[in-house]
Amino acid sequence: MAHLFLSFLILSFTIFGFSAVVESRSRARMYLDSQCKSTRYPNVCVQTLLPYVNKRGQPSSQLQAQISLASCLSKARFVKTYMNIVANKLNKRSSFGSYKEIKECLHQINDGVKQISQSFKELQQMGKDGYENFVWHESNVQTWISTALTDATSCVDGIRGDGISDTDKAVIQAKILNVKQLASNSLALFTRFTAKYRAAHGIRVP
């Protein structure tokens, strides 16, 4: 009888714990749905932020923008590594035209990585060096993220060579599309953060 009761107790705690986890994730998802609705790719936004909501509670609007930018930077660096591999394969095949296109795309991705990295560092400083510098930082971040988006678009549009396999083209397009989505979402989350911050501190855009 005691053994049966103990088994029932363990089962009850297991069900209760599972229910609590499901409820917690459901609340986190609802919270992020509201936070990400202003982005162009809300599902990507939710997937990016969800692990951090579970670990840290509800991240601030500034932290949301930082997380999105950090994810974008990580993806862009991964694309850069992949593009180097493709470029080396084309170089060995002596596919000069296609190699040239990939190298140009790689140059744009390198620039995009630089722009996103600068944006992330700039965002971390916002609000730490006085309200008078906030709008200046804001303008820098907006410009750099927009440039990274342009770089990614130019990269994909410039790849037409017959020497590049359909598989490589598809993979490149998918990876760069993901970078573009993250960059676009980062810009939207950043814009929402800066608007809230300026309103709370009475900062006007000149």
**Residue with the larger pLDDT of the pair 10 and 202:** 202
Query: What residues contact residue 177 under an 8 Å CB cut-off, 6+ apart?
Result: 156
Q: Does residue 106 belong to any structural domain of this protein?
A: yes
pTM as predicted: 0.83
Q: Does residue 67 belong to any structural domain of this protein?
A: yes
Q: Does residue 206 belong to any structural domain of this protein?
A: no
Q: Does residue 26 belong to any structural domain of this protein?
A: no
CA 102 to each of CA 69, 73, 116, 149, 165: distance values in angstroms, whole numbers, following the listed order: 25, 20, 21, 18, 12
Q: Which of 58, 28, 64, 25 is closest to 45 using CA atoms?
A: 64
Please identify which residue in the block is written with the tokens 């705690």: 13
Q: Rounded CA gap, 26 and 31, in Å?
A: 9
Residue 37 is given by DSSP the state T
- Looking up residue 64, the CATH number of its domain turns out to be 1.20.140.40
Q: Does the pLDDT at position 200 exceed 70?
A: yes
Residue 59 is given by DSSP the state -
Residue 165 is given by DSSP the state -
The count of structural domains within the chain is 1
Q: What is the pLDDT of residue 179?
A: 94
Neighbour tally for 3: CB within 10 Å: 7
pLDDT tens, residue by residue, 132-162: 789 999 999 999 999 999 999 888 887 776 6
Q: Which of 50, 2, 61, 56 is closest to 26 using CA atoms?
A: 50
Q: What is the pLDDT of residue 8?
A: 42
Q: What is the pLDDT of residue 160?
A: 74
Q: Does residue 161 belong to any structural domain of this protein?
A: yes
For the chain, the average pLDDT equals 83
Q: Does residue 145 belong to any structural domain of this protein?
A: yes
Q: What is the pLDDT of residue 96?
A: 66
pLDDT tens, residue by residue, 85-109: 888 887 777 666 677 888 888 899 9
Local structure of 183: helix, strand or coil: helix
Q: Rounded CA gap, 105 and 168, in Å?
A: 13
Which span out of 83-92, 122-131, 188-197 was modeled with the highest average pLDDT? 188-197
Q: Does residue 115 belong to any structural domain of this protein?
A: yes
Print the domain residue range for 132: 58-201
